[in-house]
Copies of this chain bind each other. A is one copy, B any other.
């Protein structure tokens, strides 16, 4: 029982802090850390049987390497249309979302008979092998405010979550290459990420996520000036609110509630996403 097309929605994901955990097997590699999944996300539509298979990103021809790999692994020929209002290359996990959405939709189109965990693993492996991300896929599959307790795909990694929902504001100041940062020595970064994770696991609250994320960005020397300014402005505008933090890895600031609005920015507004990635009606 195959069908002509299927569509999946995958929430965006901002990571507040992380540690990198490479491994020979991409299912074992990944990151530990935490962040927020967002109601602003990515729609991925897979249409079967078109030759030559094509990819589109917001209507323009595109090549997203992890998407190719997912189709190859599932043995599905199809055209993939990725639509998103999120900024690309700015730390929202768009490449992970494209890979995961392709896995879910291609499995449905071809009736490939894979389980949810298998599809998440296939998308995670594609992201890791292409160097475009380490932890977005498993977080986007879970939804909410995911804590990546142990790295890796389902069956290897382990997730928890902060049981809370929130309004989220964000401003993206431009692109940043995930591959470039991950290609450098990540020892100091990862040590800072482990400290942040210890803090959050001892106190799994959104306010602690934001605070640990700010400390991480400074300790890991990842702050860019526009984001540092915005974080300072939010602190100045809101007395003892949770403040703002930087999305890893992007030139992007995000805040809970009305933090960025209060500081005079004109942010995009969304909420934490209650569900993980899912098929939607075509």
Contacts and interface: CB of A to CB of B under 8 A. Distances in A.
Interface string A137-170: 0000001100100000011001011111100000
B147 A115 contact: yes
A59 interface: no
A275 interface: yes
Nearest to A158: B155
Contacts of A155: 158
Main secondary structure of the interface of A (DSSP, over half): loop
Given A144-B278, A274-B278, A275-B275, A115 B154 contact: no
Contact of A143 (B111, B114, B275): B275
Interface in A175-230: 201, 203-205
Contacts of A111: 205
Interface in A71-117: 104, 107-108, 111, 113-117
Contacts of A119: 163
Given A107-B163, A163-B104, A203 B113 contact: yes
A279 interface: yes
Contacts of A154: 160
A171 to B, nearest CB: 25
B274 A165 contact: no
A8 to B, nearest CB: 9
A201 B164 contact: no
Contacts of A276: 275
Interface residues of A, number: 31
Contacts of A205: 111, 113
A111 B164 CA distance: 10
A162 B116 contact: yes
A276 B108 CA distance: 21
A279 B164 CA distance: 7
B115 A162 contact: yes
Interface string A241-276: 000000000000000000000000000000000111
B275 A160 contact: no
Interface of A: 104, 107-108, 111, 113-117, 119, 143-144, 147, 154-155, 158, 160-165, 201, 203-205, 274-276, 278-279
Given A154-B160, A275-B276, 6 more contacts: A116-B163, A117-B161, A119-B163, A155-B158, A163-B279, A274-B275
